[in-house]
Structure 1
Amino acid sequence: MGLSQADLAHLPANTRPLDRNTPFTFSCHSGLDCFTECCRLLELALTPYDVLRLRRATGLSSSDFLEHYVIIEDSEDETFPRLYLTMVDDGRASCAFVTAAGCTVYRDRPGACRVYPLGRASKHGASGDTEEHYILIQEPHCHGFLDQVTQTAECYCLDQGLLEYNRFNDKVASILKHPQVRSGKILQPEERQLFLLFLYDLDRLRIEISGGVIPDMTPIAVQEVISKNDEELLLFAIEWLRQRLFV
């Protein structure tokens, strides 16, 4: 199932729907005169897996990374807090990790950077499978479309290492797009703090679990959880939080 007519009507003028195997031409490299322009004048929302990878790349704890590199917007008008990468005050709102030579955290760059110039949305189909939908974003400043390098959405996502990012983002979507959220559920202040702790601050989460933040957890279970690697802990945290928020 593709995008509906209602979806198409709300797409910006510079975007169009794209089937996963429909070819398009695009390439990004340092030889382009627009190189790194897409790393400026933007609001870069961060997913939990983005933060996991970036804080690992910087060598910081999750708490220190959030303090130094993340803006947290927690408005009562929004169901969940939103996290954005802090931009440098250089008159162009540049990414903190971009230089003239490119991205200094390229191996661990956020999913939004990897997927550009595509946009991806997913939902669970009736059969339980994940349905993916793509759009192609053609912004005037980007000259990568002039390179005659043929891509498809499926191959491009594989090449950009997006499978792992998509796996975690789709798991988080089970919280963000839960039926109770669509029905207007409002998180209480304590729940909003749990959202930030469990999804974005894994180092502190280990400490909090040791201190009993999860009630009725046996010492053996506590040790098993805090011994998990970051990816395993994040998967555990997503599932625990989903059950905690949507009883």
Structure 2
Amino acid sequence: MQLALAGHDFAPAQPLDEDIRLAAITGYPWLVVDHAKYQRFLAQPEFDIRDLKRLFLRTQPAAIDGLTLPDSDPAHAPQLEALCKEARRLGAPVLVLRIAQPDERIRELAEVAQRWSTVLALASPSFATVRALVQQANHDALGWYVDTVALWHAGEQLQPQDAARTVLLAVGDEDAQGKRCLPGVGSLPLAELLRPLLVGGYDGIAVLTTEPGLDENSARSGYEALQQQLKQIGWRVSRE
């Protein structure tokens, strides 16, 4: 298992290059790139993709997150195709697509992603919704983004067979005020929630998720907390 930071957990105004720098110096091999920050970086007059790629030396882009599937948008496939092009140029193999309800266009969008050698990781407050969509579409370019906090709030459970379609695993906890906190600090039964994925053989990327406003110190603490929780469950954590 390898660890990643989520770019949207840093301050919203913090630029992408600073997200990359902080992920690198705090030991995370992967960064889930925030789409809004990536767009701002692309819009710079002096932008050069080679400069951005040079930033990704010690930390690699695990995914781009920030695209939401609206209730109705006939232009969504072209929008997704443009984002797939961006992901391909950046070297990110995954796009996190957030959905609120079942949508019949998922297979069509998966076809778009596949043309660009990209995988869609569906995220939703209801894991059951995502599971049903992916199973119905039955497409190689589709998987899911598992979030422990969302899973707990939905009262849903993972099964060992869910490991095969798990693209990214977001691990967060929740404090008494209902805010996200470092794994092991809150009250969520993380071992109970995640052990089915271990049994099923998931050994991909675990993404630390907290409240926005992450800084260097909390990122370092988060690495240790997440590593400890995963090791207690039974995973081996590697930086390479």
TM-score, with length taken from structure 2: 0.26
Higher Rg of the two aligned structures: 1
